[in-house]
Structure 1
Amino acid sequence: MSVPVRTVCGVQEQLGFDAMPKRLIKVTPSRLGVWADCRRRFRMTYVDRPTPPRGGPWAHSTMGAVVHNALKGLFDLPPDRRTPETAAKLVAAHWKDDGFADQAQAGQFRERAAGWVHDYVKDTDVTEDPVGLERWVSAPVGTIVAEGRVDRIDQRGDELVIVDYKTGKHALTTDDARGSQALALYVLAARRTLRRPCTKVELHHLPTGTVASWEHTEESLGRHLSRAEESADEFQLAIDTAKAGGDPEVLFPPNPGRQCGWCDFRRSCADGQAAGPALDPWAMLSP
């Protein structure tokens, strides 16, 4: 095996392996979130092959996906066709009943989602074409490759703005936008992928029609990056150690708690089953 060399003042020196560039670790918000939530679930999601069987669909996830698809479909239309009525019809066009108790419940929430999207389009300027819709961004930053799919990227003036749609139960605040590691990573990846300035992030909460925004500084982005790098180092070390023969049960311990009630891998995890009862697939819908 050849040993890498470098030239310093015309003299070649051999480099030890410690001097070789560190391998960049691919990081998505989803990976970071699962690692923080439960390391056994991380293993089952990203390491185990074949992947253990997952549970069925969740109604709140179905609803969120429909809203995202309807808004993407709306922006694919010419500006003069982006009306509240069209947006509501797109919800019906993309609708699925997956995870709902029955057709009656699904119909109730279909109408609710259509109302959210209708009102959002009525109260929002949707005439400008976004720079990106469901846009995948990926870029090396620090010791990681930050990547992910952004709901929407707007161009406002000379800068990009990261827009994330939310359909959960609770209204969001400035603290949610400021503290979102996902949005910070999207900023870092988007500014390098699209080669334009980007510091602002927005959470658009459709059920309440509110927008929570935050303007990042280089310092705040640096803090998010440092935390992402630390987590990436941890999970990559666990993965590499497992591949070298380490005990997966030690490297990827469970984190039993109320979240086990809606874990996709509950059927394959005795600790999760013992933590509490399973939730119905529609249990996380708004009342």
Structure 2
Amino acid sequence: MAYQISATKLQTYHRCPQAYYFRYELGLKTPGFFGNAKLGTALHQALAQAYRDWHYLDPVPPLDWVSSCWRRCSNNLSPNQAEEGQEILENYYYQFIAGETVMARPLAVEGLIKGRLLVNNLEFKVSGRYDRLDFLGDGLELIDYKSTKEVKLPKPDEIDLQIGLYYIALEQRYQSCLQQLSLLYLRTGEKIVFEASSEHKQQVETVIGELAWRLRTDEEWEPKTGEQCEACSFNRYCAAVQDQPEPLPQTANAPRQMQLSLNL
């Protein structure tokens, strides 16, 4: 049975192996996030429709086309949210569509990519979601829309892991390498581009190798202390942070009795 791994899981493990153990091995719950999630979801859906459903017989769609996509996706929003979303998409249109000679058809929108990786005789199933995949001259661009109000860049080591995971999955799915990962902040119109290379793939293979070793040997999932501890959802159970950590809740999964096996 292949072990499921995603960019979020890999970044959590890299940040702190014990936090990974609490969340993914013991199944402890994390508190939900609050925010303007409905507006962000609607913006993602409208852009997916705009690129996926355009007929591409004309070089560039009119603003009315993007607005019609927004109307279909904003039914469950408040009037203020619908107005705000319309303004965000209009700004996007004039910055990223109207000035183009031709709006290129994406390879795919709003999808899930999967791949497999064999490390230390264990099989991992890697997966990740994307908002848009575009063809470039000699590779692929993965575009991730961000609807946050401020531009908040991920830490370099964490974005490197995300790039490496997508690199592996895209190479297997499309036989084409990831050339760049772009974060596109919808509210500000900023597009941050990260170049991808085979070195990112090698880095992910190394980190997954460390994870595989722990899964096979049942070694201690030691904590990695740092600034992340303050915001960690599991710090009350952590002896590295608390002098008297709380006992694990009864809802915690039992530790694995048998770890992974390789599909033959």
Would the aligned equivalents of 1:120 and 1:209 in 2 still touch at CA under 8 Å?
A: yes
Residue in 1 aligned with 2:255? Answer: none
| Paired residue secondary structure (2:203) | helix
* CA-to-aligned-CA distance 1:214-244 (integer Å, 9 cap, x gap): 443xxxx2322232122212222223333xx
* CA-to-aligned-CA distance 1:52-78 (integer Å, 9 cap, x gap): 233233215555444323322333433
Question: Cα 1:94–1:67, aligned 2, differ >3 Å: closer, same or farther?
Answer: farther
Residue in 2 aligned with 1:99? Answer: none
Residue in 1 aligned with 2:111? Answer: 135
Superposition pairs for residues 1-287 of structure 1, below 5 Å? Answer: 27-48=5-26, 51-59=27-35, 63-79=39-55, 80=61, 83-90=65-72, 92-93=74-75, 95=77, 111-125=83-97, 127-140=103-116, 143=119, 146-157=126-137, 159-171=139-151, 180-216=160-196, 221-242=197-218, 250-253=220-223, 255=225, 257=227, 260-261=230-231, 263=232, 265-266=233-234, 269=237
Question: Cα 1:108–1:231, aligned 2, differ >3 Å: closer, same or farther?
Answer: farther
Question: Cα 1:206–1:137, aligned 2, differ >3 Å: closer, same or farther?
Answer: same
In terms of fraction of residues, the more helix-rich structure is: 1
Q: TM-score, normalised by structure 2?
A: 0.66
Question: Cα 1:91–1:119, aligned 2, differ >3 Å: closer, same or farther?
Answer: farther
* CA-to-aligned-CA distance 1:175-201 (integer Å, 9 cap, x gap): 969954313432332132012354233
Percent of counterpart pairs with the same letter?
Answer: 17
Q: Distance in 2 between matches of 1:150 and 1:189?
A: 12
- Structure 2 gaps of 5+ residues are 56-60, 244-264
Higher relative contact order (CA 8 A, sep 6+): 2
Q: Distance in 2 between matches of 1:83 and 1:75?
A: 10
Residue in 2 aligned with 1:103? Answer: none
Would the aligned equivalents of 1:91 and 1:110 in 2 still touch at CA under 8 Å?
A: no
Q: Distance in 2 between matches of 1:269 and 1:107?
A: 43
Measured on the aligned residues, the alpha-carbon RMSD in Å equals 4.0
Question: Cα 1:88–1:111, aligned 2, differ >3 Å: closer, same or farther?
Answer: same
Q: TM-score, normalised by structure 1?
A: 0.61
Question: Cα 1:191–1:251, aligned 2, differ >3 Å: closer, same or farther?
Answer: closer
